[in-house]
Structure 1
Amino acid sequence: MQGRMIQLLLMILLATAIIAAEASLNPLFEDSVQSNSSYNSSAITFVSDNSISSAPVILMPGSGYYSSHPFAIGGGVGSQTVLYNSDPNSATAMSHEVGSAQNLSGRSEFSAISRSTQSEYYDRSYTTTAMKIDETVTSGKVEIGVLSGGEGHAWKNPALEIEEEYVGTYHITKNFTINSSLSKTRAFDGWQNCCGAIGVGIGISSPRLSLLSADEVFNCRRSR
């Protein structure tokens, strides 16, 4: 009876060791049991409601020529907003500039959101950059720009570049939104770096656990 109990105990220990060994070679199983991932999120939003007018000042200095030829000073109203999303995986910029306008009224919204998740086996990032414009400009100049970086040198070789210019009196409505995502998967290295990624290392199967030799273990060879 005692011999059977010892034999049963050895079988249980062997089965536990096999399950632990297989789990250590399977990152998906390990990640489902215990997650070492981290999550980061950041966001910024800017909203501007404008209703401004230019009121030039009329000057008639002296009693000579300018008394009969007055001149006005004051070059009109304007505004400038530039939004940079400096996420290293997706560089994006949006700009909106109004200059020398007699009247400016309307609303502009800017927002940037960046989310990222990191774990032992993957890196994932998601970014959203948006610009909404709904405004009326009287006798002014409006410049709108959108730039989205691609791979490598994002600013020198952008994947998307938009430039618009308006001179005069306009009602302008624009809605730009750029979404981007990046996912990187890292190869899972076992307890020996030479064994490489999943499925390349030592294959352990329960019926042949005792057949592995030291040469097969330390030289990353499979038992046949």
Structure 2
Amino acid sequence: MVAAEHELRVSHCLIANPETNLEAVKTIYSHPQALGQCQSFLKHLRAELIPTYDTAGSVKMIKEKSLLNGAAIASERAAVIYNMKVLEREIEDNINNYTRFFVLAKQDSAPTGSDKTSVVFAVKHQAGALYDFIKELASRGINMTKLESRPTRLKPWEYNFYLDIEGHRQDENVKQALAKADDHVIFMKVLGSYPKMKKRI
């Protein structure tokens, strides 16, 4: 179950072997998402961009292969772990880029009066099905803070929805809304109820 949430600011660095300077960098390795988040910085370097499996693993790879004309995009922590040099800090395009992490436990957190509940569901493939689901929340004064769709792997053009709402699943209005919403879905799973995050990391 989801028992808590944290948001961590994404801050990318250009990292290389200690002997490497910025002018020597001809190839940059990182996860495709990190490469995409640093486009403004990268277009001025004119280096070849090589997508890899992960950011910290890219730092490890350029160290193990002693690539003196290569660099990696990763967090400053990766440079510390692998004893590498940070050539440039905060190279991301958007300084307000955060990644959300869930803390998992065997059960929900207890209600605090300031909670969120996360749910995944799929609606019947018919007109108004999603509206009918959301109407159960709205009619009980439940605020929806997030709704995302993701393709299922079962059939083309079918989607699962990921929903965050204000309130704890033990709150009477949330309990009633989810019970009624169950009439409009193919499946629904409550991922957990947890305190609203107070501040970002």
TM over 0.5: no
Higher strand share: 1
Higher RCO, Cα 8 Å, sep 6+ = 2
TM range (shorter): under 0.3
* TM-score normalised by L of structure 2: 0.22
